[in-house]
Amino acid sequence: MSPRPKKLRLCEGNFCVPAFKPTGTPLSKLERVELFRDELEALRLCDLEGLTQEEAGVRMGVSRGTVQRIITGARRKTAEALSEGKALIFIAEDEE
């Protein structure tokens, strides 16, 4: 039995750059953490715009629980990259 297909997630924001990295070190020499478009969108909606997870779920077309899972992973990845000096690489869903 195969897993249920991933529900389409609506993302309004676009990546402004392909990566975010510490200054002074070439990208080729940094460890990378991949952040998917839906993860960045959840961060943008909840942490930048101040929406609740329920409101973000409505905007993204998914449940509050799905937003909670997405944002938990996104926050962990972001914290890892920032605290350990790794590059955040932004990945669109069609690149997975």
User: Looking at residues 29-52, what average pLDDT do you find?
Assistant: 95
Structural domains counted in the chain: 1
Does 80 fall in a domain? yes
Residue 91 within a domain:
yes
Mean pLDDT, the chain, whole residue set? 87
Please, are residues 81 and 88 in contact by the beta-carbon 8 Å criterion?
yes
Q: What interhelical angle do 53-60 and 64-84 show, nearest 10?
A: 100
- Asked, for residue 19, whether it belongs to a domain, the answer is no
56-80 confidence digits (pLDDT tens): 999 999 999 999 999 999 999 999 9
Is the predicted pLDDT of residue 8 greater than 60, yes or no? no
Q: Does residue 78 sit within a domain? A: yes
What's the burial of 75, exposed, middle or buried (CB within 10 Å: 0-12/13-18/19+)? middle
Domain of 61 in residue numbering reads as: 39-95
pLDDT at 96 over 50: no
pTM (2 decimals)? Answer: 0.81
Contact 11, 70 (CB under 8 A): no
Residue 20 placed within a domain: no
Residue 79 in domain = yes
